[in-house]
Structure 1
Amino acid sequence: MRPADASGFQESGAEMKHSVSKKTCIPRRNEMVSIIQQVVGRVSRTEEVPFDQSLGYVCAEDVLAVNTLPNTPVSRFDGIAVRYADFEGGPPDTSAWTEGGDYEYANTGIALPDGYDTVIAIEDVIIGETGIRICELPEYQGEMVNPVGEHMRQGETLIPAGEMIVPAHIGLFAAGGVNRVRVYSRPRIGIIPTGDELIPPGCPLPLGKNVESNGYMIAAYMTEWGAQPVNYPIARDEPGELAQAVRLALDENDALVIIAGSSLGTKDFTLDILGEMGEVIVTELAHGPGRKSSLSILEGKAVLGVAGPPLGAQITCDLYLAPFVSALRGLPHRQMPKLDVISDDAYLPRRMDFCERAHIYHAEDGYHIRSAFAPKTTRAQMQALSQGNYYRPAGSSCEAGGRTTVELLCPIEMIPSRDKLLEVLGGVIEPYE
């Protein structure tokens, strides 16, 4: 893990409730991503995996071809194999040519018969009862023939160290005779939910309690992005229990995600515990939702604190869990695709950066957005209707009918062709600010 360095970012001058480092800062979005990239390093542990199970891993060393392909000249197309010398003096008389003497049939990818060096496509040959007629003569020796090593050569690099394996590489490994690949192990990331109010999924829900759902969502994100999540039981709002849970998870994982407990409530102990055990670099963020997220280094391992409210947790995952996992894997920051849109709502300036969940739909004049924070929508409806994030810097605004840019949360093909938010709300949407 690289040493923490938060220089150049906004320092917190306020008196903090928590025991944190003097380097603590309250970064905006791009600053937080930069800090993650500075202080979170690749997990160096490696392993060997079968080539056909290596998809999505990052190569720990160059993968070299064992085979040379083709290892003998082969036909590039279906046709007939001929000797180019027969054509050097001009068009030969082929009326009495016979198979096996003057020509041989050649099939795509099959080795040329001995003694032949050129191929004529079958579409350019008319086979008669006696002899053949060639409609298109070859122009050079070796035409329509793949020479030795045209596809790959023994010892050449099929994929360099540090790159992620994609499906095309699996085919190269198979063709190249590579049976096993040395890769960086998927980072193990422990997930610790906190809070007296939480109960596990599947249990009866008492009054005043809430279901722990963030940990399962975060684990799903991690799996999608190539990490190995490890879910831990809910840690109660008691300093000793939380500290014990953190110590156990630190011993068993490469990094941690701790959910909630970083606000200023009477039972929010997470940052106090992290400050006692290591260095808290970021205590909160300069935007909402997800403001009460954090970043710490404990015993050389990175700990990402995720805000407890589900929407804040989702946005923290979108903006920061992705680069957190990428840094642990030694990969570049995952950028969310962007889309130019027309805003149906008027967005007024805010005092701090704000990330809106946006409903996107396609109309005749282009893509449109509405805020998914519409009155009378539940969180579940908002999630179902959100196709993008609209990140608004402090002081920025957008008039109704104005153009702006959003980040996509789904493939563009999944964007509906009608305003589903309007349908859900019965055709009446109150003005949004």
Structure 2
Amino acid sequence: MGCCDVPGLMPLEDAQQKLLAGIQPVTDTLTLPIADAVGYVLAEDIRSPLNVPPFDNSAMDGYAVRRDEVMANQPLPIAGRSMAGSPFDEPWPSNTCVRIMTGAQIPSGCDAVIMQENATVSDAGVTFNETELKANQNIRPIGDDIRQGDLALAKGTRLTARDIPMIATLGMATVMVLRKPIVAFFSTGDELQPLGNELAAGQIYDSNRYGIKALIEQFGCEPLDLGIIPDNPKQLTATFMHAQQAADVVLTSGGVSVGEADYTKDILGQLGEINFWKLAIKPGKPFAFGTLPNAWFCGLPGNPVSAFITCYVLVQPLLAKLAGHTQWQPPITIPAITRSGFKKSPGRTDYQRAIYYIENGQFVVESTGNQSSGAFRSMSLANCFVVLERERGRVEAGETVNIELFNASISA
């Protein structure tokens, strides 16, 4: 045990390794129209069935020429036109040019295109202000973007809006993808009320399910919302049994602490197996991970910020691996100079909500304020986490810290 290890708390790095150790990606596949495939993970490599572009084409509106025929003050008559979708395919007389538009097919024999801004048209033809021409000037050659047989997208890529037009350029109307993992989730606690209900004394609104649902969707999975379950062992057990039959992962918030009404951990121990419980992370110490007969289980803390951060930090890579998203990368970490102090005691890796900006080319960062695990406004204001190492204590203004930029799941 290290000098700053807290007895009974698993280091975050160990928990992250254990979370991923037994996860195998889903194998069920779907064939979807590309218009419906955003957010799904490719089940196979996509190799280009053709060259893109499929023919030499013009990068400019202008004139197709043969370079050795272009001379200063010597007009070239226009022999015809090559338009996008309507190429010039007639015999091309020598000492003439062809009017050509962007994207149009290059006439046979052409070795340069002169942009129209460098041309003057008269009754005698076209005179060019530019006569020193490079070979294939303003010509996009066949396969300039993708060659036939090239790997366009690798298996395990999660498709984004950037990928769909590229697939369409290959003439592919459908793709084979992995089905999205199903994540059943619910909140526990007699104090929780759904939105729209009046709050009685001691009650609060259930905010966790809304954040968890949004994260599950952003992680590329299908959410299954089972609502709010009261602190009743029999009802909780029935909900667990239903959830683990309907989903690949069961995700709960609340009930994994040490209070008298925190039953989730006990029920998990009866129905399945607890792999670990209690982590050296702040916020989010009472995080549980285990297995049910037919599903994985992650138990998030009940406090809103704790639930959100542990879902982002711990559940996100698990779901990425389960979804087969082999291209997933952890959020980017960058050193930054603090413009405010950060309270910290050694013993737990601390994710503090913060705002970074760039000042004279240097990343700087300051706290968003209240770092309580129940204060969600500071999360809403943030654009990064300041990640303070387990052994580190209080940080003063002017020190260097590591910041973790939010990835697309919470910044898009």
Partner of 1:190: 184
Q: 1:259–1:306: 8 Å Cα contact kept in structure 2?
A: yes
Partner of 1:19: none
Question: In angstroms, what is the RMSD of aligned CA positions?
Answer: 3.4
> What amino acid is the match of 1:390?
V
Q: Which has the higher mean CA deviation after the structures are superposed, 387-396 or 361-370?
A: 361-370
Partner of 1:393: 389
Aligned with 1:277 (options 271, 282, 288): 271
> What amino acid is the match of 1:136?
E
Cα deviation 1:180-217 (Å, max 9, x = unaligned): 11111222100021122222221111112222221111
Cα deviation 1:317-360 (Å, max 9, x = unaligned): 23212222222223334325445132422635334444333466
Q: What is the aligned residue count?
A: 388
Partner of 2:16: 33
Partner of 1:301: 295
Partner of 2:141: 147
The correspondence of residues 2-401 of structure 1 with structure 2, limited to 5 A, is 26-84=9-67, 86=69, 91=71, 94-95=74-75, 97-100=77-80, 101=93, 102-113=96-107, 116-137=110-131, 142-299=136-293, 301-331=295-325, 332-338=328-334, 340-345=336-341, 347=343, 349-358=345-354, 367-370=364-367, 372-373=369-370, 379-401=375-397
Q: Secondary structure at the match of 1:286?
A: strand
Q: Greater strand percent: which structure?
A: 2
> Post-superposition shift, 1:298?
1.8
Cα pair distance change 1:402/1:189, threshold 3 Å: same
Q: 2:29–2:179: 8 Å Cα contact kept in structure 1?
A: yes
> What amino acid is the match of 2:216?
M
Partner of 1:402: 398
> Post-superposition shift, 1:162?
1.0
Determine the C-alpha separation between the residues in 1 that align with 2:303 and 2:313.
15
Cα pair distance change 1:319/1:78, threshold 3 Å: same
Cα pair distance change 1:169/1:333, threshold 3 Å: closer
Cα pair distance change 1:344/1:300, threshold 3 Å: same
Cα pair distance change 1:278/1:129, threshold 3 Å: same
> What amino acid is the match of 1:350?
P
Determine the C-alpha separation between the residues in 2 that align with 1:258 and 1:343.
36
Q: 1:345–1:371: 8 Å Cα contact kept in structure 2?
A: no
Q: TM-score, normalised by structure 2?
A: 0.82
Cα deviation 1:96-124 (Å, max 9, x = unaligned): 74534422111121013456454333334
Q: 2:51–2:146: 8 Å Cα contact kept in structure 1?
A: yes
> Post-superposition shift, 1:86?
4.3
Partner of 2:89: none
Q: 1:343–1:404: 8 Å Cα contact kept in structure 2?
A: no
Determine the C-alpha separation between the residues in 1 that align with 2:29 and 2:177.
6
Q: 1:359–1:387: 8 Å Cα contact kept in structure 2?
A: yes
Q: Which has the higher mean CA deviation after the structures are superposed, 116-125 or 306-315?
A: 116-125
> Post-superposition shift, 1:143?
4.2
> What amino acid is the match of 1:389?
F
